[in-house]
A and B are shown apart, each in its own frame.
Chain A
Amino acid sequence: MFELAEYLLRGALLGVTYGLLAFPVSLLFVTTGSVDVALGAYAVLAAAIMYTVGGPAGVILAIGAAVLASTVVGLISMRLNRPGAVDHVIAVLGTFGLATFLESFILTIFGTSPMIRQPFATFWDFGNIRISPQMGINLAVCIVIVSILFIVLQRTPFGRAMRASAVNPVGAALNGIPVRLIWFTTYVLGGLLAGVAGVLILFSTGADYSTAFTLTIWGFGSAIIFGMHSPLRGFAGGLIIGIVQALSSGYLPGGWATAAPLIFIFVILSMGRMNQIAATGGRV
C-alpha cells in the first residue's frame, strides 16, 4: 500500500511537466484544428541549452530558443494551414519536418549523452517518501503558469479573441479579430510553455536528443485523456500519464514499463477523443 502511494505521488509530480506540454497541444488543436509534433523537440532544445549554459542566462536562452523554434513553426504552419485553405495533416507534416530538424540539430551540437541536473542534495520526507524539492518547484511553476493562462484565456480581450477564433474563425474574422495572428500566437505560446517544461525536465527526469518525439507523445496523451477541447483539463491529463508511467515502471518488467503508457494513450485515442473534428465532414 505504501509502495502504491509512493508511485501515485511520484507519478503525479512527474506528470506536472506533461501537463505543461498538454496545455499547448489542446490550445493549438482547439484554435487551429492541428497538432504541433515539434513540441517535444522545443522542450529538449531548451533542456540542452540550459544544460550547457546554466544559470539565469541559461533559462532565458533556453526558453528563448524554444520560442524562436516555435515562431519558425508558426510561420511555416501559417503558410501551410491558412484560413480558407485548411489541410490539418499537411500542417502536421510541416511540424514533423521541424521536429526532425531539431532532433538532428540537438544530436549534432550536444551529442548523445543524457542531459540531467540534480540541483538538490537533500530531499523532503513525506511519510517516508523522499521527494526532491525540485518537484515542489515544478509543481509551483506549473500552477502559476496555468493560472496565468487561465486568467488570460477567460478574462482578457486577447483570450476572448482566441476563444472566438476557435469557435468560429469565419465569424471572428468578420468581427475584426485577426484570426491568423491569433493562430500564430498560439504556436509561439506553445513554444514558450514547452521551453519552460524543458527546463523543468532537465532538473527532474532529464532528457536526451531522442526524447523529443516521446515528450510530444506524453503531452499529446495528457491532452486527450479528458478531451482535447479544454486546455485546462490537459493539465489533469498530465497527472494521469505521469501516474501510469510511475505504476508501469514500478510493477511491469523492462520494455513493458515503457510500452504500457504508449498503449494506454492508444486506448484513449481509440475511444474517439479527437474525432469531433470531422463529425460534420469538416463543415463546421
Chain B
Amino acid sequence: MQGSRLKLLMPALSVVVVIAVISPFIFSSPFWLDNSVLVAIFSLMALSVGMAYGQAGILSIAPAAFASVGAFATSVVTTRYGLSPLIGLVLALVLPMVLAYPMARAITRLSPLPLSIATLLLSLVLELAIREGGDFTGGYIGLSGIPTLWFAPNLVSMHILGWMLVALVLILYVNLTNSAIGRAVRTARHDPLRATADGVHVPSLLAVYFALSASVAGLAGWLYAHHLTYMGPDSLTMHVSIKIMLMAVIGGASTFLGPILGAAFLTLITLYLPAAETQGMIFGAVLIVVLLVAPNGVLGTDWRTFFNGKKRKSDVARVQPAVGGGAA
C-alpha cells in the first residue's frame, strides 16, 4: 500500500529533488531564477496540454488562451478593484473552467477533432476580445502595475512557489489519472463505444476533464501575471499556445514528467535561438520531426525497442480496429 502511494508521488518527488539540486546554483542569478519561474509557468501550461491531449485525446490549441483568461482575471481584480491576488487565484481557476466546460459539452458530444478546431476559434476570439476590451482589459496597451504576490515578493520565493505549484498539480494529476475517472477517460479516448457500454457518459466526462485542464492553464496564467506584473494583448497569444503544445509533444504528452521536461528544454533553448520571426520555422520543424520519429515524445517512447528496431509499443497502442472514420 505504502509502495503504491510512493509510486503515485514519484513524479512530484522527482521534480522536487531536481529543483532542490539546481536551486543553490541559481539563487544568486536573477537571470536564471527568472527563467526558472518561466519554466514552472510553462510546465503548468504544458501539463494542461498533457491532461487534455495526452490523456483525453483532445488537442487543445488554446492553452495560452485559457492561461490569458486566468491572467486577465487576476490582473483586472487586483489592478482595477484592488482585491487580493488570492481572489484572483480563485477566478483564474474557475473562469477557464466555466469557459471550457460548456464549450466542450457543446462540441465533444462524440468526436474530439471538432473540439480542437473550436479551441483554435476560441484562441482567435479571445485575442480579439482582449484587444477590444477597452479600459477593462487595457486594450492594445494592456494592464501594467499588477502587484507581485505578498507571500512571494522576490524571485527566489517566486521560484519556490512556482515549482511548489507544479509539484502540487502533478500530485493531483497523477492521482486523478490513477483513479476510476482517469481510467474511464483513457478508455473513452481509445474506444468511446466501449466506454459507453461500460456505463461512462463519455461527452460529460471528456468535457469535465477538458475543463480541469483549462483550469490548470488558468493557474499558470495567474502566476504569469503576478510574475511579469504586466499583461498585454500580445502576452499569451496563439504563438505561445503552439510553443506549449510543442513542449508537451516533445517531452511526451501522455507522461507526467514529459510536459515539464519539454517546457524546460524549449524555454532554455529559446534563449539561444535567432530572431523571434524565425523561431516558428524551428518549432514547426521540430514538431514534425518529433511526431515522425517519436510521436509519444522523449519520455513516452521505449528507446530500447526503438533502437533494437522492434515494433514499437506506441504503434501498437495507436492501432484502432478500423480505418476511415470520416466515411461514417
Residues of A in contact with B (beta carbons under 8 Å apart): 29-35, 37, 76, 79-80, 83-90, 92-94, 96-105, 107-108, 165-170, 213-214, 217, 220, 228-229, 254-256, 258-259, 262-263, 265-266, 269-270, 272-284
Pairwise interchain contact A278-B107, C-beta atoms closer than 8 A = no
Q: Does B21 contact A (CB under 8 A)?
A: no
Indicate whether A277 sits within 8 Å of B292 (C-beta atoms), given known contacts A93-B245, A96-B61, A103-B280: no
In addition to A274-B114, A277-B113, 12 A-B residue pairs with Cβ atoms within 8 Å of each other are A80-B292, A83-B324, A94-B287, A97-B291, A107-B277, A166-B326, A269-B117, A270-B118, A277-B111, A277-B325, A278-B110, A282-B192
Pairwise interchain contact A170-B322, C-beta atoms closer than 8 A = yes
Q: Does B196 contact A (CB under 8 A)?
A: yes
Q: How far is the CA of A96 from the CA of B286 in the complex (A)?
A: 12
Q: Does B242 contact A (CB under 8 A)?
A: yes
Q: Of the candidates B116, B131, B318, which one forms a contact with A87 in the assembled complex, judged by CB atoms under 8 Å apart? A: B318
- Which of the 9-residue segments B122-130, B178-186, B258-266 touches chain A? B122-130
Pairwise interchain contact B292-A274, C-beta atoms closer than 8 A = no
Indicate whether A217 sits within 8 Å of B288 (C-beta atoms), given known contacts A269-B118, A284-B328: no
Pairwise interchain contact A89-B57, C-beta atoms closer than 8 A = yes
Q: Which residue of B lies closest to A30 (CB)?
A: B326
Q: How far is the CA of A32 from the CA of B120 in the complex (A)?
A: 21
> How many interface residues does chain B have, given as a range?
35 or more
**Chain B min CB distance to A168 (Å):** 7
Pairwise interchain contact A255-B322, C-beta atoms closer than 8 A = no
Indicate whether A30 sits within 8 Å of B327 (C-beta atoms), given known contacts A96-B242, A107-B280, A255-B129: yes
**Chain A min CB distance to B50 (Å):** 14
Pairwise interchain contact B111-A255, C-beta atoms closer than 8 A = no
Q: Does B53 contact A (CB under 8 A)?
A: yes
Residues from chain A with a CB closer than 8 A to the CB of B292 are: 76, 79-80, 94
Q: With contacts defined as CB atoms under 8 Å apart, how many contacts are there between chain A and chain B in the complex?
A: 204
Pairwise interchain contact B193-A281, C-beta atoms closer than 8 A = yes
**Chain B min CB distance to A57 (Å):** 26
Which residues in window 152-198 of B have CB below 8 A to A?
Answer: 191-194, 196
Q: How far is the CA of A259 from the CA of B325 in the complex (A)?
A: 31
Residues from chain B with a CB closer than 8 A to the CB of A93 are: 59, 245, 249, 287, 291
Pairwise interchain contact B192-A281, C-beta atoms closer than 8 A = yes
Residues from chain B with a CB closer than 8 A to the CB of A90 are: 291, 295, 318
Pairwise interchain contact B280-A104, C-beta atoms closer than 8 A = yes
**Chain B min CB distance to A238 (Å):** 17
Q: How far is the CA of A67 from the CA of B125 in the complex (A)?
A: 30
